[in-house]
Structures are given as C-alpha cells and as structure tokens.
C-alpha cells in the first residue's frame, strides 16, 4: 500500500535515500570500499567504447553516465534513445559495451535495441530493476538495483538507483582502464556513500518546494536549464513536469539559450535552474542573468555557495547540501522530481496514473 502517503509517487520519492543506500550496498564492498560487480564474461579494461541506450527517464540516467564515463573513465561513449538507435545502424566496434538501462526490463524499443546491439557483436550489460524481465534474460550481465517495485507511472526512485549503479560502474571502469587514481576513487566513493544521508535532508525543503510549485503551477510553459552532468537532470525535471502536471516544459543545456529559446522568455515563463556550484556555475549564472534581463522568473536549485550569487536575480532559491560535483546529479534529482509532484497536486491531476501513459511501454 501507500503507507499513509497520498500517492505511490509521494511514497516512492521518500524512498530515494534508502534505495540509493541499498543499491550502493550491493555494488560496494563495505570493508574495502571497492566496487563489486557480478562476474563479467569480458574484461572492463578491454572495452574500447560504449553505446548507451534507453527510453524516457532511463535515457536521462544514461545521459548522466555518458558525462561520468567520458570524464572519469576516459571511455568514448555514444548515446541515443532506443527508438532511434535501433534504426540508426551505426558502425560499431566488435567487443564494445552496450549499456542498456530500464526499470521494467520490458520496454519494446530498448529490448529491440538490445537485440540489435548483441547481433553486432557488443557485450550486453543491462541496468535493470526487474531481474526476471525479458531484458535480464537476454543480457550478458545484469547490474541490478534495489529499488523495489515502482508503482507510480512516473519513475522516481528507480532513476536514482540507476544513477547509483552507473556511478559505481564508472569508478570500476576508471580503475580498470588505469585512468583513475586510487585517491580519486576514494574521493568519489566517499561522495557516493554520503548520498543517503544528504538525500534525507532534502525532505526538510518540502515547504520551500511547495512555495516554488505555486509559481510553476500558474505557468503555461516552463524552461529547465542545466549544464554538464546536471543537464540531464533538467531534462528529467521537464519530462516529469509534463508527464504528471500537463504543463509544457522544455529543458535546454544552459549555453543553448541564446541560440533560440531565449526568444520565448517573458515574465510568464518560469526558468528552473539546476545549478550546483561546480566549475560550470559561472557560465550558468551568466545564462540566467540574460534570461532575467528579459523578465524571466528564475527558480533555482543550488547550494549555499551558488545561492550567494543567485539570490539577487532569482525569485526563489532552494539551497541543497553541498556535495561533490560527481554526485550532484543524483542529489538534485530529488527536489526536481518533488517539484513536479507538488505542481501536479496543485493542478489536481491523477498523479500516479497520468493520462495516456502506461507504466511499461511494451509496444513500439
């Protein structure tokens, strides 16, 4: 049941900290803090490149992993939505890694992409929540997550579980390829293992997120901006808002604003910024200043350092715990999904069963 929560989505949002913790327990040795993966029928060190594919939110998890694997493991990565990848017929190197991500393990396009990638000589590794699924049976390796059943049609806890697994895989890959120092490994692992307690603190922000939701709920269109590994979190925020509140939202990499979307901005368009104080913060800030100058209302998720700079231009600033840039996309997912939930409540939609959607998309 819903354990006293109003919706499965609310209950599942509150499971983020425990699901991240349980998932990490499964892939990290508690004593050595080394990543432990299931036995692999290939060596990570021999993987020349990866192709990542998935649909919807799972695709955005893969998109974060692309930033991580490139930067931390120096692995060349291609990524596309499964509905495109399966028909693209890209040239692939034999022995590459196909990384599939799916909560259900039954999504038709992702499954078809898996079969195509296998046929072109890729090692198939799937990050799945349902380990008895069709995709599990057809994969060389399954990286499970401990998200438990996800009932809400809109994905929440499965997303942070996917990211937790992919972060651990990134560390394992970086080490196997000899490009990540033990010091870097320990630093990233410490940041990951701190996440469950940092995530718990997000729920103290409920009142502020509800206040922000009142602004978003009045809008017809909303823009989400992010950069680097938080750009996919902007995409996730916009998808979730569309999906459950039926408000039109788009996400842009903040640097793309001046190439078109800035012409949309006036005082009716809230701009949700996913902006931790990483090395890209100043760039994002100047994009937000440009949007502000055109009347845009800035609603920011940031940390204390970022808040000092954002307060003068933003209508609302929500201050999250400061975390390492590596894990910021995981932490920032939580308030961004909570915002969509609160807006949906204000709009009175059917939160757990949004119109026209199914939990598992088993037809193309």
**Rounded distance between C-alpha atoms, residue 89 and residue 236, angstroms:** 27
Give the nearest distance from C-beta 356 to ligand F6R in angstroms: 13
Among 23, 110, 134, 277, binds ligand F6R (CB under 6 A): 110
* Interface with ligand F6R in residues 226-245 (CB under 6 A): 239-240, 243
The sheet with strand 50-54 has its strands ordered as 77-81, 50-54, 97-102, 123-128, 141-144
Please tell me whether residue 107 binds ligand F6R under the rule CB under 6 A: yes
C-beta of residue 328 within 8 angstroms of C-beta of residue 277: no
Please tell me whether residue 353 binds ligand F6R under the rule CB under 6 A: no
Among 53, 103, 185, 229, binds ligand F6R (CB under 6 A): 103
Structure tokens at 29: 């040795």
C-beta of residue 264 within 8 angstroms of C-beta of residue 224: no
Q: Which residue is nearest to ligand F6R, using beta carbons?
A: 56
Give the nearest distance from C-beta 329 to ligand F6R in angstroms: 16
Please tell me whether residue 57 binds ligand F6R under the rule CB under 6 A: yes
Please tell me whether residue 166 binds ligand F6R under the rule CB under 6 A: no
240 an active-site residue?
no
Q: Residue 48's Cα: distance from chain center in Å? A: 25
Contacts 24+ apart (CB under 8 A), 39-45: 40/140, 40/141, 41/123, 41/140, 41/141, 42/95, 42/123, 42/140, 43/176, 44/172, 44/173, 44/176, 44/177, 45/176, 45/177, 45/178
Please tell me whether residue 24 binds ligand F6R under the rule CB under 6 A: no
Give the nearest distance from C-beta 10 to ligand F6R in angstroms: 15
Nearest to 303 by CA among 197, 205, 233: 205
Please tell me whether residue 154 binds ligand F6R under the rule CB under 6 A: yes
Structure tokens at 304: 């204390």
Please tell me whether residue 289 binds ligand F6R under the rule CB under 6 A: no
Tell me the per-residue interface mask from 73 to 102 with ligand F6R, x by CB under 6 A, - otherwise. Answer: -----------------------------x
Give the nearest distance from C-beta 183 to ligand F6R in angstroms: 35
Residue positions annotated with a catalytic role = 359
Binding site for ligand F6R (CB under 6 A): 55-58, 102-104, 107, 110, 154-155, 239-240, 243, 360-361
């Amino acid at each position: 049941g819903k354990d006293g929560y109003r919706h499965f989505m609310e209950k599942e949002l509150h499971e983020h900290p425990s699901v991240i913790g349980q998932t990490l327990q499964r892939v990290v040795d508690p004593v050595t803090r080394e990543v432990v993966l299931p036995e692999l029928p290939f060596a990570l060190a021999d993987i020349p490149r990866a192709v990542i594919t998935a649909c919807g939110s799972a695709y955005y998890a893969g998109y974060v992993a692309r930033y991580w694997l490139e930067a931390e493991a120096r692995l060349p990565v291609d990524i596309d939505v499964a509905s495109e990848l399966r028909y693209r017929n890209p040239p692939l190197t034999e022995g590459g890694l196909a990384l599939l991500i799916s909560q259900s393990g039954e999504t038709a396009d992702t499954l078809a992409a898996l079969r195509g990638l296998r046929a072109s000589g890729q090692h198939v590794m799937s990050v799945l929540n349902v380990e008895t699924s069709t995709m599990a049976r057809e994969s060389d390796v399954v990286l499970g997550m401990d998200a438990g059943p996800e009932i809400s049609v809109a994905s929440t806890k499965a997303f942070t579980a996917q990211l937790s697994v992919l972060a651990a895989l990134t560390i394992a890959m970086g080490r196997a390829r000899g490009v990540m120092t033990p010091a870097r490994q320990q630093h990233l692992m410490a940041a990951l293992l701190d996440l469950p307690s940092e995530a718990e603190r997000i729920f103290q922000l409920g009142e502020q997120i509800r206040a922000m939701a009142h602004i978003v709920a009045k809008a017809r269109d909303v823009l989400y901006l992010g950069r680097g590994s938080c750009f996919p979190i902007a995409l996730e925020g916009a998808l979730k808002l569309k999906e459950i509140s039926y408000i039109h939202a788009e996400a842009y990499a903040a640097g793309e604003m001046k190439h078109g979307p800035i012409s949309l901005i006036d005082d009716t368009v809230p701009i949700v910024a996913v902006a931790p104080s990483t090395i890209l913060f100043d760039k994002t800030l100047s994009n937000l200043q440009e949007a502000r100058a055109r009347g845009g209302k800035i609603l920011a998720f940031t940390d204390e350092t970022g808040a000092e700079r954002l307060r003068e231009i933003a209508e609302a600033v929500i201050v999250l715990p400061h975390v390492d840039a590596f894990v910021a996309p995981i932490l920032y997912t939580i308030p961004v999904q909570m915002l969509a939930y609160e807006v949906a409540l204000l709009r009175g939609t059917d939160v757990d069963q949004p119109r026209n959607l199914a939990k598992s998309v088993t037809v193309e």
